[in-house]
Homo-oligomer: A and B are copies of this chain.
Amino acid sequence: MTRPERARPGSGALASLPSLAPLPTAAERAAAVIRENIFEGKFQPGTALPEAALSQALQISRNTVREAFRALMSEHLLTYETHKGVAVRALTVADVHDIYTLRQMFETSAIDLLDSGRAELDPAALLEPVAAGEAAGAADDWVTAGTANLRFHSNLVSVHGSTRMEEFFRRLMTEMRLGFLALEDPKTFHAPYLVQNRSIADKIIGGRYDEARTDLTAYLEQAKTEVAAAVAKQSTVDDDR
């Protein structure tokens, strides 16, 4: 006998839940804490993170702090120089342009794939993040809204079916979150995109691929301009300090 069908969270929704299983190693837990602090804005871009300070704050040995740093470096959240230690990554305007150029390439080619019938897409993969973004926006939680937004675009790229592309795109999304930190008013930035994501999702699902491509390209161009401006402003502020 089968159990009655009941509503289940859409694709990707569970991914945003905090994992219940505690991370196995101290280094990973430390990395998680540091990562959290970066995205919370506690450790601002450009901030140096001395090993001794983190060792004391997290109550772990310096060697373990270093392991955590290595992990975050490979996530491109920290920069490193020999004998100078690590610092929270600060995006440059060139970074922002590079990132959006690649997003344009990966996302529009995903639509091409759908358009030509070489790939298929579960509508829920787009609708779930859109709905999650709208819900977060309604609750005035713009960090969650931003993350849902990124999940929308990641799921679109997933139609390529390439594990390496997904991994690479995840990296780009991580860097986007660093860029979001530079925004002065996240609400003003994110709110319009909630509407646009809904529209793009509908067009893709409805098979109106040309319109979707056009809208997406405009979307990315606009977002790039805004984030680049925010990052530029941030770097001038840093210089003044």
Contact = CB atoms under 8 A, between A and B. Distances in A.
Interface of A: 24-25, 63, 66-67, 70-71, 73-74, 82-83, 94, 98-99, 101-102, 105, 109, 162-165, 168, 172
A118 to B, nearest CB: 11
Contact of A67 (B70, B74, B163): B70
Contacts of A164: 98-99, 102, 168, 172
18 contacts: A24-B82, A24-B83, A63-B63, A66-B67, A67-B70, A70-B70, A70-B74, A74-B74, A94-B163, A98-B162, A98-B164, A99-B164, A102-B162, A102-B164, A105-B109, A164-B168, A164-B172, A168-B168
A225 to B, nearest CB: 18
A173 B41 CA distance: 36
A102, A164, A168 — most chain B CB neighbours (10 Å): A164
